[in-house]
Structure 1
Amino acid sequence: MDKQISAALDRVIDGVVAPAAAEVDRAGRFPAEAVQALGEAGVLGLASATEVGGAGGGLRDAADVVQRLSSSCGSTAMVVLMHYAAVTLIEAYGPKQVRREIADGRHLSTLAFSEAGSRSHFWAPLGTATADGSRVRLSARKSWVTSAGHARSYVWSSRAMAADGPMTLWLVPSDAEGLTVSAAGFDGLGLRGNDSRPVVADGVPVTADAMLGADGTGLDAALGVALPWFLVLSAAFSVGLMGSAVDEAAGHLVATRLAHLGQSLADQPVSRLELGRMRLQFEAARATLAQTLTAVETDAPDATAQVLGVKAICGEAAASVSDAALRICGGAAFRRELTLERRFRDSRAARVMAPTSDALADFVARLACGLPLFDGAPA
């Protein structure tokens, strides 16, 4: 990663992200100040090409950003993660003006794939795109869209207009006529500041050139361009969260005394053993992430299998580690005097964000058996 951007990221985390993390979580407040600061620091433009003024960063750079952010604030990390996933498609197919705005840190984007009717099966959109003279009208009920009330654009999926493919992608301005973001803010177990809300399109008019790629090719683009970034960055999110949980749990064990024994919690073999197991899980997940990044960069023969598995591996490890942190730190971890209860809640998101851990395990099994990833798809 560019050294200037890396140093600026550290300053934003220390000065803006970390101090606000508890309030962002408590109030379910979108981290607008952090996002603005990250834009000004060049972080939002990290994955944009240098030709439009971006940093030209790759997947490893983006994973580093997400991992560092999630160690302080899961909500902010998720906003940036979804932005990067959307940017991959905008960089590949989007207009240069929007790409320049993103590179300049003035444009936050996000994915709008999941729908109320098909839920986590993002590969099966029910929303439609209908020709209307020189325009196209989009109609859909998107179920959960990160940064819904703050993004300037959505990378939007619909059924194909006329082609045989299952999906077409669009770049939709968030202020488009007929687009409605749910008035009720996000009130979930974890990631409470990520402003994930339903978005409804009721005949939203867009121009034909809002299409990203060709009609019917959206699933190929989503799987080949955006999904690897989403899966790997989700793993980086989990690794960052795990690292902070392990460090805080260790600090608590060392600092907390059992006065009647004249010992710390770290002197207790059972607690120490549990902490050691947590650390081993963290190191294994971190190594898996690093190995997957190398596989992608070197186009290794098993890169696809590693990419499909890394989110599930690291997400399940984060859930396990954060659960263990609550056990060994006791009552203090259930209260907000430590950040562990927030880490515990945030870690659960990886299991249910599409593709879910179960879906990814099935994808990996299908790949191993030589079966198509999706029922009805050609082998």
Structure 2
Amino acid sequence: MTTTLDNAQPTTDDSDVLGTLIDEVIRPQAGTVDRDGAFPRQGVDALGAAGLLGLASSPEVGGGGQGMRTVAELIERLAAECGSTAMVVLMHYAATAVIEAHGPREVRTAIASGGHLTTLAFSEFGSRSHFWSPTGTAAATDDGSVRLDARKSWVTSAGEANSYVWSSLPLTPGAGPMTLWLVPADSPGLTVAGDFDGLGLRGNGSRPMTADGLRVPADAMIAADGAGLDTALGVVLPWFLVLNAAFCLGLADSAVAEAGRHLTGTTLTHTGAALRDAPVTRRAYAQLKIRTDALRAFLGDTLTALETSREDAMLRVLQVKALAGETVAGVTDGAMQLCGGSAFRKELGLERRFRDSRAARVMAPTTDALHDFVGRVATGLPLLDEANR
């Protein structure tokens, strides 16, 4: 399937803007990004210059006007080549969703133009993966501004993004469980701690950030005071979970493809048979292929449920990341086993995909949390109990 990715203008395989960027920038640098833990700045800038960071922005502000399905395909294709780049762009689109809904026009226009990278800043040291329970504070000041204080534990593109969709306790006690703010990267009092030296997604720049007396104007508030949780669940969460599933699909599909090339192209000298000629090997490969194609089908159904406002749309959204996280973990693990010692070599690319895939299980909402959410919704309970709201 060919989907246009260039500001909604028709395209062909020969003029596929994303494909060209993948071939010329993103794929050649993926190994270096992983090895050095380097933020994929060149790839992100190239995507911005091509208009792809503004793909989901409204045409009213110069954006591509595309929906979640098209953006999910972009994330899938990026993840197949460089998980770090895909995660940076994924978080940009999750933050863009709420900025498009409630943010200032000038920032929306900057995102649409490709010159503004944004991201989410939800996870905190005090509440860890329970993003719906912020501990950071917001307080009115005498000069009419708002003071934010918080210790954020994981912020993708920390120190690299131009803005952060920031969560805190409400400005007015009792207004609600959470308030969201749009925090410019150059805000005094905002600091980034250390470098990211992780197992996988080594170039995604996920680092702790601290707000110590950070000041923002009162109109930096996104939506109403205390309405941040409803905004996060209703606007951000569908984009975040669906794009995470697309990210997992890209990793899994590329791992299966790489394993298939290895099994087809590797011959045993003493027998003359290719690795694929063994029935047990073909069976194991088929299982990986089936799991990956099943995830693709489920993701497609989730997107259809959202597009048609189907009754089970939110249930599908909660299910899809849980399914995707377990699928990609199992598929990349199976691909490593199928390819044996060759998979441990960097040049095959499998061990990088294996490491990158581990993040899906622990990114909030974690797989365990999503299983609980699915169970709650499927049995008629609210997504969160009152204690967590």
- Aligned-partner SS, 2:310: coil
1:86 to 95, 120, 129: 95
* Alignment pair present for 1:329 and 2:339: yes
* Alignment pair present for 1:142 and 2:144: no
Tell me which amino acid in the other structure corresponds to 1:103: A
* Alignment pair present for 1:127 and 2:129: no
Q: What aligned pairs does 1:1-379 form with structure 2 within 5 A after superposition?
A: 2=4, 4-5=6-7, 7-133=16-142, 134-162=144-172, 163-182=174-193, 184-376=194-386
Structure 1 position 314, deviation (Å): 1.1
Aligned residues: percent identity?
Answer: 61
Structure 1 position 10, deviation (Å): 1.2
Structure 1 position 98, deviation (Å): 0.7
Verify the 8 A CA contact 1:372 1:378 in the aligned structure 2. Answer: no
Structure 1 position 337, deviation (Å): 2.4
Tell me which amino acid in the other structure corresponds to 1:4: D
1:322-369 deviation per Cα after TM superposition (whole angstroms, max 9, x unaligned): 000010100010121210000100111000000001100100000112
Verify the 8 A CA contact 2:5 2:52 in the aligned structure 1. Answer: no
Structure 1 position 378, deviation (Å): 9.7
Give the direction of change, closer, same or farther, for the CA distance of 1:149–1:351 in structure 2 (3 Å limit).
same
- What value does the CA root-mean-square deviation take over the aligned residues? 1.2
CA–CA separation in structure 1 for the residues paired with 2:382 and 2:264: 51
Verify the 8 A CA contact 2:6 2:55 in the aligned structure 1. Answer: no
1:152-176 deviation per Cα after TM superposition (whole angstroms, max 9, x unaligned): 0000000001143100000000110
CA–CA separation in structure 2 for the residues paired with 1:187 and 1:4: 34
Runs of 4 or more consecutive aligned structure 1 residues displaced over 6 Å after TM superposition? none
CA–CA separation in structure 1 for the residues paired with 2:216 and 2:324: 39
Tell me which amino acid in the other structure corresponds to 2:36: A
CA–CA separation in structure 1 for the residues paired with 2:387 and 2:27: 45
Tell me which amino acid in the other structure corresponds to 2:188: E
CA–CA separation in structure 2 for the residues paired with 1:357 and 1:103: 32
Aligned length: 378
Tell me which amino acid in the other structure corresponds to 1:289: L
Verify the 8 A CA contact 1:296 1:303 in the aligned structure 2. Answer: yes
Verify the 8 A CA contact 1:2 1:55 in the aligned structure 2. Answer: no
Structure 1 alignment gaps of length 5 or more = none
Structure 1 position 4, deviation (Å): 3.4
Verify the 8 A CA contact 1:238 1:314 in the aligned structure 2. Answer: yes
- Aligned-partner SS, 1:4: coil
Tell me which amino acid in the other structure corresponds to 1:101: A
Structure 2 alignment gaps of length 5 or more = none
- Aligned-partner SS, 2:54: coil
- Aligned-partner SS, 2:151: strand
CA–CA separation in structure 2 for the residues paired with 1:3 and 1:20: 21
Verify the 8 A CA contact 2:5 2:55 in the aligned structure 1. Answer: no
Verify the 8 A CA contact 2:6 2:52 in the aligned structure 1. Answer: no
